[in-house]
Structure 1
């Protein structure tokens, strides 16, 4: 069933409900198929090359544990199984499918390529299948009561090998820029927060990137946005590398499981780029910029 008007109302920090704690593992057997001729796997994280995104044909295998084992005092017609796609960089999300648990569930949900094209073509996109409350209930401690409260979810992350996820993107309008001390028509600015060579908590980033609301609207629609995203990303990473250089310039190697190690892995292709090579680029900004443009395939999207 396609969805037009379902929306998520729960706050971002909501936690699972102890009354239905058994539901948490009910979606563990859901899987993701990447290619039309492939099989669904239970993996939750995928790193793909550009050629993979070109031939990608996503489908979610729907396998929900028997609800009688975990539903508690809830009723099947109070719960929906939903499929959501979200692109973190573009700050865009779509509810793709919805079905009541009281109905027969599909064996799989195929994801329309047109939808993916609006979400960066699947690059750095999350696909989430979740069980959510569908109607208001009397508020009780430990029990879901607002439409959109989730009882269980499983998220599949699709990451591009050529675009490290180092930063969080936010939007400012004219007045916001002026209040922050910038000219009102600033295109973007990078606030480096620090910690590129430390292991961060899940969801944390080393920088906040602010983009003008007008530019963000263009970046998220049409061919212009598709061509500008890699160029903007290369400039953002360029700024982060230069601003963080003092933190790692005296080191001989990057600590594992850190944003810096992740960046080196993605810049190096088959093997991580040596830290010494990134140091050499950091003291030659024009060479650093050119290398980032090459690794993020800036030119190819302009053809």
Structure 2
């Protein structure tokens, strides 16, 4: 039986006609002692000397044949996402025609990522500038028209929400205070569904100095404690927003983001779905946050942070 629930459109900026075939020959290898063999997934537990390198071969003819955009309208970019700290960073950009045939991640950049915990790499063609909107064509600066993904992670490692490094101006452009420490940007307003890519659901935007401090402290109790508190807020927001959008008679989609969040809370606290619904109906986000704190062991994180001083 089809369930009734409130549906809203996602705000994610998706590509229009895909030009992924023009990146078909782009390749990645985690270290120089391996061949470029077309693999896109690598087991981090089997890697020792990690010195990632990309082969950046773009098929210009595929772009020209499609006729959606001109090669001169595009930039070739590489983004790395750290699965341990849940953060991402744009590490390379170039005009497609000016890109080197092969590019190695510089040592100082490489050391900012926890490769053993897991890193995802995306090579993409994105618009260089805004264009006049046209039906069926990309028009926003940064809008990707082609992408190819690679991953280095333990085989059992799940995909995580992306964390991005934002400047003060980035926050101001979103009409937020320039001194914002972090902001949870919900890309999709419908959380009652499965997301193959968690980044389609939300992203966490950290002020640059906060991002850098957490990156430096990611292997410490202090750093893990702060990230745990941010995770608590994410969990609370998912439960509150998701249940608020769900019709009273509907049940969350099994295995979806909302269902997974609720299950984590109910398993840790013994609370029922009905009890959580009541708090949401009353607009009591503070109580939902309290349940999320219990589910993420926020108390323990706060104690560890406090005892460091």
Query: Could you state the TM-score of these two structures normalised by the residue count of structure 2?
Result: 0.51
Per-residue CA distance 1:74-109 (angstroms, 9 max, x = gap)? 2221111111112244232222222213x3432111
Q: Hey, what does 2:86 align to over in structure 1?
A: 91
Give the alignment partner of residue 130 of structure 1, picking from 94, 108, 124.
124
Contiguous gaps of at least 5 residues in structure 2? 1-9, 165-193, 230-260, 269-309
Q: Hey, what does 2:70 align to over in structure 1?
A: 75
Q: Hey, what does 2:26 align to over in structure 1?
A: 30
Q: Hey, what does 1:147 align to over in structure 2?
A: 141
Given the superposition, is the C-alpha separation of residues 170 and 132 from structure 1 closer, same or farther in structure 2, using an over 3 Å criterion?
closer
Contiguous gaps of at least 5 residues in structure 1? 1-10, 172-199, 247-303
Distance in 1 between the 2:123 and 2:11 partners? 16
Structure 2 residue 44 is matched with structure 1 residue 48: yes
**Contact preservation (8 Å) 2:120, 2:150:** yes
Distance in 2 between the 1:71 and 1:60 partners? 25
Q: Hey, what does 1:251 align to over in structure 2?
A: none
Given the superposition, is the C-alpha separation of residues 229 and 143 from structure 1 closer, same or farther in structure 2, using an over 3 Å criterion?
farther
Offset at residue 167 of structure 1 (A) = 6.1
Offset at residue 112 of structure 1 (A) = 1.6
Give me the CA root mean square deviation: 4.5
Map 1:51-70 → 2, pairs under 5 A? 52=47, 54-67=48-61, 69-70=64-65
Distance in 2 between the 1:106 and 1:217 partners? 29
Structure 2 residue 228 is matched with structure 1 residue 220: no
Map 1:68-217 → 2, pairs under 5 A? 69-101=64-96, 103-121=97-115, 123-160=117-154, 164-165=157-158, 168=161, 201-203=195-197, 217=211
Query: Could you state the TM-score of these two structures normalised by the residue count of structure 1?
Result: 0.52
